[in-house]
Amino acid sequence: MAERYPESKPMFVVTLPDYKVVFAAWARKWRGGIPGVKLARGGKALGAIYDITEKRLWWPNSHQGYPKTAAVE
């Protein structure tokens, strides 16, 4: 987050019960896995909530090759 969103502010750590973090796709652009979550009974997916600017809201999608899904001015 510090590299891609230097203005972001960490808010708190979260746990998503009955899910696990998976890397089910490969990104040629940066030659690395694309993270996601998958249902997994008894699992725990750990993550964090960050406060980011509205301008940056759709940046992860465009960075991964997906089109914007909403207009952000």
Q: Is residue 71 part of a domain?
A: no
Cα separations in angstroms, 43 against 17, 22, 37: 6, 12, 10
pTM of the model: 0.60
Q: What is the pLDDT of residues 4-49, one digit of tens each?
A: 788 889 999 999 999 999 998 888 877 888 888 999 999 999 999 9
Amino acid (1-letter code) at residue 5: Y
In a domain, 3, yes or no: no
How far apart (Å, rounded) are the C-alpha atoms in residues 50 and 15?
A: 14
Q: Which of 51, 50, 17, 19 is nearest to 35 (CA)?
A: 19
Whether pLDDT at 71 is above 50:
no
Q: How many separate helices (H) and strands (E) can be counted in the chain?
A: 1, 2
Q: Which domain holds residue 43?
A: 9-63
Is the residue at 72 inside a domain?
no
**Is the pLDDT reported for residue 66 higher than 70?**
no
pLDDT of residue 59: 61
Write down the pLDDT at residue 72: 43
- The total number of structural domains that make up the chain: 1
Average pLDDT over residues 51-73: 61
